[in-house]
Amino acid sequence: MLAKILSSAVIGIDAYLVEVEIDISLGLPVFTTVGLPEASVKESRERVKSAINNSGYTFPDDRITVNLAPANIKKEGTGFDLPIALGILAATGLFQQELISDYLVLGELSLDGRIKPVTGSLSMAIAARDAGYKGILIPDDNINEASVVKGIEVLPVKNLPQVVNYLQGFNKIEPAVTDIESIFAHVNRSGNDFAEVMGQEHVKRAMEVAAAGGHNLIMIGPPGSGKTMLAKRIPTILPPLTFDEAIETTKIFSVTGMLEQEQALVTERPFRTPHHTMSDAGLIGGGHIPRPGEVSLAHNGVLFLDELPEFKKHVLEVLRQPMEDLKVTISRAASTLTYPASFMLVAAMNPCPCGYLSDPKHECRCTYQQIRRYRSKISGPLMDRIDIHVDVPAVPYKDLMQDSMAETSEKIRKRVTKARDLQSERLKRTKIYCNAQMSSRHIKKYCKIDNKCSALLETAIDKLGLSARAYNRVLKIARTIADLARETDIRVDHISEAIQYRSLDRGNVKYT
């Protein structure tokens, strides 16, 4: 007898539908799985057989053939256990197949029939809804993330007998419902706040500008000046995640299995801090079974690279494509996967190998060649994609001991959000959403300057030795500063402040 159960699998961060076809025919007891199954899918026959027997049902002693269609895509994961088990029971006549024809089914089986969670259930629920199916049967542990999808019944199941009894009409499973508004209303903040940072007002201002325009930023300063502490607080001033951004971010964490069981959505912008020993595959994604890397896990959030020159040079170079395209494409012989990677890069580095170049209280003993070699680890094309360079000096004692609290992150976030709203309105007819993503065409249209601003820029390029590539960067930063001030036109003071954020482009840097 033939039975067909609908299931799903993930490719990239999106799911596709898989038809699980089970044929039971007379012959020697053989269990065969076809349709390009990988090892964990082939092993499902042992889990399915034990789960059926230990749940009180009879496993047929006949020839069983399982086909996973489409057969030209490799199937991975353990989510096919439950649909295979239900297909076998339907083929033996335990329940009518039509009862489950409108539902997508997924779940891993333990040997005693319990249903374990799977990765990617959010993407699968979206795929089932988009395909017009009535509902989805998922493990109870996956209920939080899948139930945020509206327009489809999400039925949580705990064990195989519960599913069979439901299909036989002996019990009822109530669809799970999640209140999206309550999730966003109770966002669990990390606890970091800019009010805790003493001094460094110019650095905090640079971070506000970077957050308002989505600009990449690099901090240069001696050890202990607070670069890491400042970077950890950047997510607290970024605009809150929208629902669509939260869904896309959650899908990435879901397919990698990094979403917590009690967590329905990722409601805070990610902050990823990979170690400098990380490989290029760990940073960009890949592997034998391709998985998203740190740049994708930082999607819609912040990727913080501390001690930037300590990263291997070839690892840093792979950042160039996602920083430009806002996505990562991983090619393999069998397939090509694309992961989103729209992140804000924040980097930190010492000014020299010892860290004390230009520090008034510590003597730098690095030679010119050592400093040049240290800074050359960061290539020009990569540095060209970082808009804001800011020096972070050591904090004076009087700033550390001040009693008054600094401005809170919430106040800064309100200004940043208003600036982003202006950019969204200005760029609504384009495919970009912040000033940092503007191309030369957009800069000419939205960053027009008068003669005074032009004269100041010309002086900066001639006197300070700013590179030609800094010209467009200064204009984009000035546009963001004007947006923070809610000014329609770019003024001279906006240009002047923007020039200060290009310290590494200055040709008159002296080494001691």
Q: Is the pLDDT of residue 507 over 60?
A: no
Claim to verify: residue 449 and residue 425 sit in the same structural domain? no
Claim to verify: residue 35 and residue 63 sit in the same structural domain? yes
In this structure, what CATH number is given to the domain that contains residue 51? 3.30.230.10
Claim to verify: residue 164 and residue 28 sit in the same structural domain? yes
Claim to verify: residue 423 and residue 443 sit in the same structural domain? no
- Tell me how far apart the alpha carbons of residues 316 and 377 are, in angstroms, rounded to a whole number: 9
**Number of domains making up the chain:** 3
Q: Is the pLDDT of residue 486 over 60?
A: yes
Instruction: Give a yes or no: residue 188 inside a domain.
Output: no
Claim to verify: residue 149 and residue 235 sit in the same structural domain? no
pLDDT band at residue 188 using 50, 70 and 90 as cut-offs: low
pLDDT band at residue 7 using 50, 70 and 90 as cut-offs: very high
**How far does CA 310 lie from the centroid of its chain?**
24
- Tell me how far apart the alpha carbons of residues 183 and 324 are, in angstroms, rounded to a whole number: 33
Claim to verify: residue 209 and residue 325 sit in the same structural domain? yes
Claim to verify: residue 303 and residue 344 sit in the same structural domain? yes
Lowest mean pLDDT among 156-170, 298-312, 427-441: 427-441
Claim to verify: residue 323 and residue 460 sit in the same structural domain? no
Q: 461 or 116: whose pLDDT is higher? A: 116
For the stretch 361-391, pLDDT in tens is: 888 989 999 999 998 889 888 888 899 999 9
Instruction: Give a yes or no: residue 414 inside a domain.
Output: yes
Write out the two tokens for 226.
């607070």
Claim to verify: residue 147 and residue 198 sit in the same structural domain? no
Query: Which of 178, 210, 243 represents a domain boundary (last residue)?
Result: 178
Claim to verify: residue 222 and residue 149 sit in the same structural domain? no
Contacts of 13 (CB under 8 A, 6+ apart): 123, 248, 251, 252, 255, 292, 296, 339, 340
pLDDT (0 to 100) of residue 430: 86
| Average pLDDT over every residue of 71-87 | 93
- Tell me how far apart the alpha carbons of residues 155 and 314 are, in angstroms, rounded to a whole number: 47
| Average pLDDT over every residue of 396-411 | 78
Instruction: Give a yes or no: residue 184 inside a domain.
Output: no
Claim to verify: residue 256 and residue 384 sit in the same structural domain? yes
Instruction: Give a yes or no: residue 87 inside a domain.
Output: yes
| For the ranges 44-58, 260-274, 464-478, the one whose mean pLDDT is highest | 44-58
Claim to verify: residue 145 and residue 126 sit in the same structural domain? yes
Query: Which of 366, 400, 430 represents a domain boundary (last residue)?
Result: 430
pLDDT (0 to 100) of residue 511: 38
Query: Which of 405, 430, 455 represents a domain boundary (last residue)?
Result: 430
For the stretch 54-66, pLDDT in tens is: 999 999 999 999 9
Instruction: Give a yes or no: residue 185 inside a domain.
Output: no
**H or E element in which residue 64 lies:** strand 63-69
CA distance to 92, 357, 446, 490, per residue, from 486 (Å): 70, 38, 14, 10
| Mean pLDDT across the chain | 90
Strand partners, 153: 135
pLDDT (0 to 100) of residue 508: 42
User: What residue numbers bound the domain in which 265 lies?
Assistant: 194-430
